[in-house]
Amino acid sequence: MKLITTITEIRKIVTEWKKAGKSVGLVPTMGYLHEGHQSLIQKAHAENDEVVVSVFVNPTQFSANEDLSSYPRNIENDLEKSREAGASVIFHPDVSEMYPEGYNTYIEAFGVTEVLEGASRPTHFRGVTTVVGKLFNIIQPDRAYFGQKDAQQAAVIEQMVRDLNFPVAVVRCPIIREADGLAKSSRNVYLSAEERQAALVLSHALKLAKKMLEQGEKSAATIRHAMTEKIQQEPLAVIDYIKIVDDRTLRDVRVIEAPVLIPIAVRIGNTRLIDNFVFGRTE
């Protein structure tokens, strides 16, 4: 498995694959890969002839108050995890390769970006859509794979693909969890042992919401109140948001009658964690 660092070289490789009639899957990541990322690579490997894993810590999706330099990185681990999961190549460009001097063009989506994560990180999704749009243009994959844990990101990319007519199928993959229920995340490495235990309150709150929905509760306010009480029982947890939104538009709902997404963001110590689940989706 090759490590490719330039746009010219990855385009040359993909062009050769395409000439041979091969399908190409793309798994965009910011590295520090774990089993959640591997599940995306494995699905891409199962559905495509060749798989590109991009490893790029994208500076344009970090807000001014977020420490880009401290984001965990380990390219040797990323190579090993990608190889194990069936990737063909890793595309690992420098920032100057993706954003050369004088770069000043961005892709910006609206409607699904101003809520949830976008409410507190107003420039975040402009960075996401721009870098993913560039990756789609550079690699020209048949399919691209995104995790459900970042549900809003997947919705934003789906909208971008529809609106800008990218010839790419966006594939959502399920959340991968630790045995005790914590959603796998590169940010989990920041948690102390005590914080790691406290972080279980996220999945516990989501399980409570799911149980209430299955028992017929339709009031979003009632469910949010129960989830809030649950999380506030954990002294180390500080709620950023608890939402119940339409699964497609990401807009708040009051009465639950159609498929909904229940996303939460909670700070455990200095680490901000997100999690979610979808209720009522049939596919």
Give catalytic residue positions: 37
Q: Which residues contact 80 (CB under 8 A, 6 or more apart)?
A: none
Residue 270: other Cβ atoms inside 10 A: 9
Residue 101: other Cβ atoms inside 10 A: 5
CA distance 158 to 93: 24
Q: Which residues contact 215 (CB under 8 A, 6 or more apart)?
A: none
Cα 250 to its chain centre, rounded Å, is: 16
b/e 54-68 (16+ beta carbons within 10 angstroms → b): bbbbbebbbeeeeee
CA distance 261 to 258: 10
Look at residues 136, 277, 127 and name the one whose alpha carbon lies nearest to residue 213.
Answer: 277
b/e 158-194 (16+ beta carbons within 10 angstroms → b): bbbbeeeebebebbbbebbebeeebbbbbebebbeee
